[in-house]
Amino acid sequence: MLVLDATVVNVALPRIDADLGFGPAALSWVLNAYTLAFGGLLLLGGRLGDVRGRRRLFLVGLGVFTVSSLLGGLAQTPTQLVLARAAQGVGAAMAAPSVLALLTTNAPDEAARNRALALFGAVSSGGASIGLILGGLLTDVASWRWTLFINVPIGLAVLLLTPRFVGETPRREGRFDVVGAVTATLGAASVVWALVGAPEEGWLSTRTLGGLLVGAVSLALLARTERRHPHPLIRPALLADRRRVAVLGMMALVVGGQLSMFFLTVQYMQRALGMGPLATGFAFLPFSLGIFAMSRLTPSLLARHGAARLIPVGAALLTTGFVLLSRVSETSTYAAGVLPSMLLSGIGGALVFMPVTATVLSGVEHEHAGAASGLLQTMQQLGAAVGVAIVASVYAVGAQPDSFVPGARAAYLTSASFAAVAFAIAVVALVRSRRASAAASAPEPETELEPLPDLAA
């Protein structure tokens, strides 16, 4: 539900604009307000769950999210809707890191943990495409307001069932890292704010450069603070592992490529293929089915082959799928031009998300699982913001008023380049380190010792 809300209102934006009178420039804030609050507060939400209790923070965050969904559906002005969407993002940032941390810390063994992570990856990555289907269905059948109202019964059910099925984690003693919380939130929020506005404002605009500068300075202060604080928001040890840093970068690149592909393909199917909102949503169903089907196989594949083999294969499939989309034309059909890429992207995404999540959380102490989860999901949000911003800018350079395809070709290849860079990182950082570890653990071959010389002779 938390991931779904990043896309569920996409196909409803024209109806929202017609009903509330946003205007072209302000309408993007229906999406951006949620992304900004969600991405900016994830690090804080993860650490708060570690310190105050993960189930407790999950319930508080879900409560905020559910109430905000109701208020958003009742909104009568653009300001009311944008504020409700921002509050949804706050609730999601409080709840989301605790979800992943609770899954990992409550699993009785590694096999159960991997199954939980596979389902988490399927739900979180498939939620974006399911949001398009649900958004199109609710907008066509009922009203755009139901894209927000639908969260209320689901949220209430989860709030009632969670205390029955999920155990609480202990609180952690120690002084809370206030400076780290402020700098992390300001840094992540500033970067996301700059990136979501870059396609419209320009990459060299004062807003974009200023936001990136504030973000860079804040994150530099965060790094300095975390080395000195006895109870840091982000443990420096989490970023000392090169494999963890590499897969965090891969996660950002893959999410950036995937979400930018969504951004382009929704427009292609509606503008070039003439599909309506509901048909466009269902066109993404093969992507979701591919992810959910592979989630049943990924745990056993990971146990048998390891992340160093699965992640490059997944990244290669994503790259291929995006390259195929770059070849669509005004005369292409959905079956020939889009469907193969949807299937490849769904399978490839499933082979990347679960192994990356398992690698990020591997070796993390239970008391820091929330912080690691928040770091992973922050990279996902930053990757989505960067990917969509860059691809939207590339598309704008080659766009023509009467045709969608000319600008989309280069934009799809840009999405493919994100996945290709992730593939390169996987080969360098994971495959080589796996070979180095295997070589280091191999026993040295026995050699026959030469006889000592006869000193007496």
Q: Which long-range contacts (CB under 8 A, 24 or more apart) does 310-313 make?
A: 310/351, 310/352, 310/355, 311/247, 311/250, 311/351, 311/352, 311/355, 311/356, 311/426, 311/430, 312/423, 312/426, 312/427, 312/430, 312/431, 313/348, 313/351
Q: What is the mean pLDDT of residues 344-356?
A: 90
Confidence at 422, pLDDT banded by 50, 70, 90: very high
Q: Write the DSSP assignment of 288-334 as a string of letters.
A: HHHHHHHHTTHHHHHHHH-HHHHHHHHHHHHHHHHHHHTT--TT--I
Please write the tens of the pLDDT for every residue from 102-153.
887 777 888 888 888 888 877 876 776 777 777 778 877 788 898 899 899 9
What pLDDT sits at residue 452?
43
Q: What is the mean pLDDT of residues 438-451?
A: 49
Residue 123 bridge partners (DSSP): none
Cβ contact 64:34 at 8 Å: no
Question: 3-state DSSP call for residue 403?
Answer: strand
Q: Which tokens in the block code for residue 348?
A: 């490839």
What pLDDT sits at residue 238?
78
Q: What is the mean pLDDT of residues 418-430?
A: 90
Q: Which domains does the chain have, with CATH numbers?
A: 4-167+177-437 (1.20.1250.20)
What's the CA gap between 2 and 42, in Å, rounded?
A: 12
What pLDDT sits at residue 434?
59
Q: What is the mean pLDDT of residues 386-410?
A: 82
Confidence at 437, pLDDT banded by 50, 70, 90: low
Dihedrals phi, psi of 276, to nearest 5 degrees: -85, 180
Q: Which long-range contacts (CB under 8 A, 24 or more apart) does 296-302 make?
A: 296/118, 298/114, 298/118, 298/121, 298/350, 298/351, 298/354, 298/355, 299/111, 299/114, 299/115, 299/117, 299/118, 299/354, 301/351, 302/114, 302/354, 302/355, 302/358
Q: Which tokens in the block code for residue 213?
A: 């500068």
Lowest mean pLDDT among 179-183, 186-190, 291-295, 366-370: 366-370
What's the CA gap between 156 and 420, in Å, rounded?
A: 42
What's the CA gap between 275 and 273, in Å, rounded?
A: 6
Residue 435, judged by CB atoms within 10 A of its CB (0-12, 13-18, 19+), counts as exposed
Please write the tens of the pLDDT for every residue from 312-341.
999 999 999 999 999 998 888 999 999 999
Question: Does residue 363 have a pLDDT over 50?
Answer: yes
End-to-end Cα separation, the chain, in angstroms: 87
Largest CA distance in the chain: 106
Question: Does residue 170 have a pLDDT over 90?
Answer: no
Cβ contact 318:350 at 8 Å: no
* Average pLDDT score over the chain: 83
Residue of 123, 419, 128, 129 lying closest to 295 (CA atoms):
123
What pLDDT sits at residue 296?
83
Q: Which tokens in the block code for residue 454?
A: 């006869």
Question: Does residue 445 have a pLDDT over 60?
Answer: no
What pLDDT sits at residue 180?
79
Q: Where are the alpha helices (DSSP H) in 53-177?
A: 54-73, 78-106, 110-141, 146-149, 151-165
Question: 3-state DSSP call for residue 102?
Answer: helix
Cβ contact 100:377 at 8 Å: yes
Lowest mean pLDDT among 84-93, 291-300, 445-454: 445-454
Cβ contact 184:234 at 8 Å: yes
Dihedral angle of Cα 424, 426, 431, 434, to the nearest 10 degrees: 150
Please write the tens of the pLDDT for every residue from 83-107.
999 999 999 999 988 888 888 777 7
* C-alpha pair distances (Å), 239 with each of 162, 234, 242, 244, 249: 32, 9, 7, 7, 12
Confidence at 449, pLDDT banded by 50, 70, 90: very low
Q: What is the mean pLDDT of residues 280-294?
A: 85
What pLDDT sits at residue 448?
46
Please write the tens of the pLDDT for every residue from 8-66.
777 777 788 888 887 655 777 787 788 878 888 888 888 888 888 889 999 999 999 99
Please write the tens of the pLDDT for every residue from 207-220.
899 999 998 999 88
What pLDDT sits at residue 455?
47
Angle at 287 between CA 284 and CA 292, to 5 degrees: 130
* C-alpha pair distances (Å), 152 with each of 69, 70, 123, 143, 220: 7, 6, 19, 15, 39
Confidence at 450, pLDDT banded by 50, 70, 90: very low
Q: What is the mean pLDDT of residues 259-268?
A: 85
What residues contact 94, with CB distance under 8 A and at least 6 apart? Answer: 41, 45, 48, 49, 57, 58, 60, 61, 64
Counting residues of the chain whose pLDDT is more than 90, the rounded percentage is 25
Question: 3-state DSSP call for residue 187?
Answer: helix
What residues contact 102, with CB distance under 8 A and at least 6 apart? Answer: 54, 55, 58, 166, 169
What's the CA gap between 8 and 128, in Å, rounded?
A: 8
Q: What is the mean pLDDT of residues 272-293?
A: 84
Question: Does residue 441 have a pLDDT over 60?
Answer: no
